[in-house]
A and B are shown apart, each in its own frame.
Chain A
């Protein structure tokens, strides 16, 4: 209820401010509170800009009083732990489309400011048996419905939400790494040292939903970008992939999309014989794979070639 009170207060103050014509925004945590110093020092430029106020009125404000909102107030820890009601997030990875461009990886690393060298998304070259074809397999966190990592966490630092996402509270993690031992998908990474982050990222309060900033001595992993889902946008890996390998969506709506194409999830997984990794372990992943048939690209492992050249 506390959060509701806060937002009501913010709403009221915002409305009041809008009535008085918006004067300015501070760079402090609450963008709705005016900064007395700013009001006094800013001189009107004379150029007026039309804005839509929070209560729906069109207002005019001098341009000099406008400042970009630094960042909207984040979802509280309590809400981040509950998840988005009425959703069950799911991902489909189409192996026939992957040629290991690793755009997913680089955008994920960039957006989450991951320690250099470590990756939350890994693109494995897999070759399951002698007579079968090799293929690329991108892996994210599987966001299991029976998550082994959550079972073993002693302090509820990693948790499962009602929308199916498994997240980490880096402000609570004690760094015992039991979850890393428990995860059969080797998806979790550990921040072995202090990260060299730009000040504006390092100073942010940690949010379970953005997983930023990563903290020394705690565990990190793919979070399915729930901050993007709240905005109605796709996870970074999905939008970064030029080949549409990743499809993200909601199992309840029965829809997944890679941004360009949208599929009915149940049809897609049924028609293309989707499967999950290590089904026999009973972890019930939320990530489905479509087998690498009728491929868009031949399998070329340049990394391996480079390595053999070096050696």
Chain B
């Protein structure tokens, strides 16, 4: 009986070949990536002049996309580390989904920041002449650390699964894939000693990743908060960014849960219960983010210092009002209203709420970066007219969309070659359950 159940789990969870929809999906993503790449080649050739960026708004959607990616990557630490350490067993099927989201997002965060550089070929100067006092160097250090810790947190739990996959070579169907599994995981013999070491390592990494995750997004917020500009000059920024990051990451996991469940028919593994629980987590995180938003806007709005006034009024009622209220309602208010109800935590409404969170959060990041730059201390003057406003060009949109597509592509391909739900851990849990 037991082995049959085990066999069924393995069959259900082994990676599957792309179906028709899968192929179209990959094709579309590849098309966007190619477009982004073409736009980037144009940018390399002609310089950042191809963007809508100019001297006043010198950071635009590349940087807001960077902040978005860093934010979303924090979910890896939330689901795998925070929930693991708090022994919330229900989160096991979600760990790998959240960890691959984290790895792909942090990869593209690093890439998009290079895209934003005027002289990407001089990147090595960060190592030759890096100065520890610059928050950019802090960011490079913590993001690199986070990347490697995340990769290990993805890799170690994969080892027992790779052993399973090597036993089922016929399922994968591609010899090079089998070679890769052998290369990556053939040393894993499932011995008690290995399991012990692996568990210990995962525990250490889970503890390590929490401060590193806090560091990556706090430091990212400091790229703004260490300047004098109205809208950025805020002691609230670290907590504001972290809470927003957990929210958008959790939203992304709910979206991914729904999509994987549909695409790979995982109803027995990603159950309604998971949407219910993640829905509750999302409500909590949305309320938390709302709290920090109230702090971020109400306090300066109460005082209306002259330097802040132009910026705040631009957001509340001025040129950014539509985007501002759209972001606040889609990232926080509407998801809270949906998910606070029990029937709102069913898979489909939860998926919609998650999607709203992700989209709203992207625009929220745009609002954090751009409006501030349009309100310098001295008025915008003695510059060409085009310098006094900002709208991204097609090259910028293509590169931004290409990077988002690239991140999705990594997740898609990962799910094609590795089980997106941990097989061995699922089996272990069922066995434990039966024994109890």
Contacts and interface: CB of A to CB of B under 8 A. Distances in A.
Q: Count chain B CB atoms within 10 A of each CB in A139, A173, A190 and give the residue with the most.
A: A190
28 contacts: A117-B384, A117-B387, A122-B382, A124-B382, A148-B227, A151-B133, A152-B135, A152-B226, A154-B140, A155-B126, A155-B129, A155-B130, A172-B122, A175-B117, A175-B118, A177-B118, A180-B58, A181-B224, A182-B226, A184-B377, A185-B378, A190-B48, A191-B118, A193-B47, A216-B47, A216-B118, A217-B119, A218-B118
Contacts of B58: 177, 180-181, 190
Interface in B31-70: 46-49, 51, 53-56, 58-59
Interface in A192-220: 192-194, 216-219
Q: Is the interface of B mostly helix, strand, loop or mixed?
A: loop
Given A154-B134, A192-B49, 17 more contacts: A118-B55, A151-B133, A152-B136, A155-B122, A155-B131, A157-B125, A157-B129, A172-B129, A173-B122, A174-B125, A176-B118, A177-B116, A181-B373, A185-B377, A186-B376, A186-B377, A278-B377
A290 B137 CA distance: 39
Contact of B229 (A139, A184, A193): A184
Q: Is the interface of A mostly helix, strand, loop or mixed?
A: loop
B379 A194 contact: no
A126 B380 CA distance: 11
A257 interface: no
Across the A-B interface, give the 9 residue pairs with the lowest CB-CB distance, nearest first: A175-B118, A217-B118, A193-B49, A154-B136, A122-B382, A192-B49, A154-B134, A155-B125, A175-B119
A140 interface: no
Interface of B: 46-49, 51, 53-56, 58-59, 116-120, 122-123, 125-126, 128-131, 133-137, 140, 223-224, 226-229, 373, 376-384, 387
A219 B119 CA distance: 11
A181 B381 contact: no
Interface residues of A, number: 44
Contacts of B56: 186
A259 B393 CA distance: 47
Given A188-B55, A217-B47, A119 B383 contact: yes
A23 interface: no
A123 interface: yes
Contacts of A194: 46-47
A35 interface: no
A213 to B, nearest CB: 15
Given A156-B131, A172-B125, A124 B118 contact: no
B382 A119 contact: yes
Contact of B46 (A105, A117, A125, A193): A193
A186 B378 contact: yes
Contacts of B229: 181, 184
A310 B3 CA distance: 84
B61 to A, nearest CB: 14
Interface in A134-191: 139, 148, 151-157, 172-178, 180-182, 184-186, 188-191
Nearest to A182: B227
A237 to B, nearest CB: 14
A281 interface: yes
A217 to B, nearest CB: 3
A118 B126 CA distance: 28
Contacts of A216: 47, 118
A295 B213 CA distance: 58
B25 to A, nearest CB: 35
Contacts of B136: 152, 154, 176, 178
Contacts of B380: 186
Given A182-B226, A184-B229, A192 B134 contact: no
A216 B58 CA distance: 15
B378 A177 contact: no
Nearest to B113: A176
A275 to B, nearest CB: 15
Given A192-B49, A216-B47, A217-B48, A178 B383 contact: no
Q: Count chain A CB atoms within 10 A of each CB in B58, B133, B376, B383 and give the residue with the most.
A: B58
A265 to B, nearest CB: 25
Contacts of A125: 381
Nearest to B372: A181
A122 B131 contact: no
Contact of A124 (B51, B117, B140, B381): B381
A126 B377 CA distance: 12
Nearest to B379: A124
